[in-house]
């Protein structure tokens, strides 16, 4: 039986797209649902393009009901992937999927993580501190922003002329290259456990 993946995203969904592409022809796993807290998120169009169902929810549904948890359970989801999803995961979801929720973060955690540290905010902080390198971190999700156990990190050198646009480009290259592969290897480990 194929492993079943659900992806949460709040925006454009370029990482979600790469994951959907990666597993489109897989015999081992498939993306079965895209979830978003943003009714205008472009990730919904990407899900349509792949004929993958989507679910839009609001803050009340996410934090005060068990609708999202029940939806994931009813679909027999094996792995929940956060791909540019900006809300803290509620306790009931963490309890329902222990060590089965992962996130990608655009810095080398533990540096530049935590509440408010997402997207451009991260890159601008890294540039302001004149860091010699940055990268991505894929990690398990726990009850705190960006504090779960690290699964994978990849880094790049920050060159002298690098600006925000170049930082975004370099990070996205690493995300698109590594995120689908890390998901695949995690799902293979689940199979053997």
Render pLDDT for 54-91 as a digit per residue (tens, 0 to 9). Answer: 999 999 999 999 999 999 999 999 999 999 999 999 99
Check pLDDT > 80 for residue 193: no
- What is the rounded CA–CA span in Å between residue 140 and residue 152? 10
- What is the rounded CA–CA span in Å between residue 186 and residue 120? 28
Check pLDDT > 80 for residue 192: no
Enter the tokens of residue 188. Answer: 């293979």
> Hey, what's the torsion of the CAs at 18, 19, 25, 31, to 10 degrees?
-140
Q: For 119, what's the count of Cα atoms within 13 Å in the CB-facing half-sphere?
A: 13
Are 71 and 46 within 8 A, CB to CB?
no
CA nearest neighbour of 155 among 172, 175, 133: 133
Residue 33, pLDDT score = 98
**Cβ neighbours of residue 67 closer than 8 Å, sequence gap 6 or more:** 57, 61
Active centre residues (catalytic): 105
- What is the rounded CA–CA span in Å between residue 127 and residue 123? 6
Are 158 and 140 within 8 A, CB to CB?
no
Residue 97, pLDDT score = 97
Q: At what angle do helices 14-24 and 164-192 cross, to 10 degrees?
A: 40
The angle formed by the CA atoms of residues 20, 98 and 39, to the nearest 5 degrees, is 45
List, for residues 6-59, the tens digit of each pLDDT value.
999 999 999 999 999 999 999 999 999 999 999 999 999 999 999 999 999 999
Q: What is the pTM of this model?
A: 0.96
């Amino acid at each position: 039986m194929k492993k079943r993946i659900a992806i949460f995203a709040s925006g454009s969904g370029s990482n979600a797209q790469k994951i959907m592409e990666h597993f489109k022809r897989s015999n081992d796993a498939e993306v079965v649902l895209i979830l978003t807290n943003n009714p205008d998120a472009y990730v919904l169009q990407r899900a349509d393009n792949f004929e993958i169902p989507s679910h839009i929810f609001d803050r009340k549904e996410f934090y005060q009901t068990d609708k999202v948890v029940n939806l994931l359970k009813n679909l027999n989801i094996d792995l929940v992937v956060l791909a540019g999803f900006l809300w803290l995961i509620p306790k009931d979801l963490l309890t329902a999927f222990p060590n089965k929720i992962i996130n990608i973060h655009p810095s080398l955690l533990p540096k530049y993580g935590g509440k408010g540290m997402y997207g451009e905010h991260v890159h601008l902080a890294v540039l302001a501190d004149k860091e010699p390198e940055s990268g991505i971190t894929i990690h398990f999700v726990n009850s705190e922003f960006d504090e779960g156990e690290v699964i994978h990190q990849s880094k790049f050198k920050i060159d002298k002329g690098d600006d925000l646009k170049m930082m975004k480009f370099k990070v996205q290259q690493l995300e698109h290259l590594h995120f689908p592969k890390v998901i695949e290897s995690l799902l293979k480990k689940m199979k053997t456990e």
